Amino acid sequence: MLYHPITYQILYNDISLTKLGEGVKGVYISIDVDCLDPAFAPGVSHIEPGGLSFRDVLNILHNLQGDVVAGDVVELNPQRDTVDGMTAMVAAKLVRELAAKISK
């Protein structure tokens, strides 16, 4: 399943996130960093004003029930990142959280 920020808002408001991945074996998670609002991840090729917050993405990841076997974090563009590398840090944190989810 793919989740666009608008789809996530509908899910968040109408459906329990704990049902995501329920009964599914071998879940692959791809986190596209440019789904995040530019306030959290400006260093991407295609910004998404009104996108997800970092906590929104963590909420989805932490509540996913399927057996996560692999994943990736994509669309970081270092040439567009802030001087302090804010988006790179967000992406690194997402990789860490994803790895923790896979190791369970």
Our count of domains for the chain comes to 1
Residue 19 lies in a domain: no
Residue 17 lies in a domain: no
Residue 26 per-residue DSSP state: S
Q: By the 8 A CB rule, do 102 and 69 touch?
A: yes
pLDDT at 15: 52
Residue 73 lies in a domain: yes
pLDDT at 83: 95
Q: Which residue range is the domain that position 47 belongs to?
A: 26-103
Give the C-alpha separation, 70 to 50, whole Å.
28
The pLDDT tens digits along the chain (104 residues) read: 445 554 555 455 545 555 666 777 788 889 999 999 999 999 999 998 988 899 989 988 888 877 889 999 999 999 999 999 999 999 999 999 999 999 77
Q: For residue 63, which phi and psi values (nearest 5 degrees)? A: -95, -5
Residue 4 lies in a domain: no
Give the C-alpha separation, 39 to 22, whole Å.
32
Give the C-alpha separation, 66 to 15, whole Å.
16
Residue 92 tokens, joined: 């690194």
pTM of the full predicted structure?
Answer: 0.80
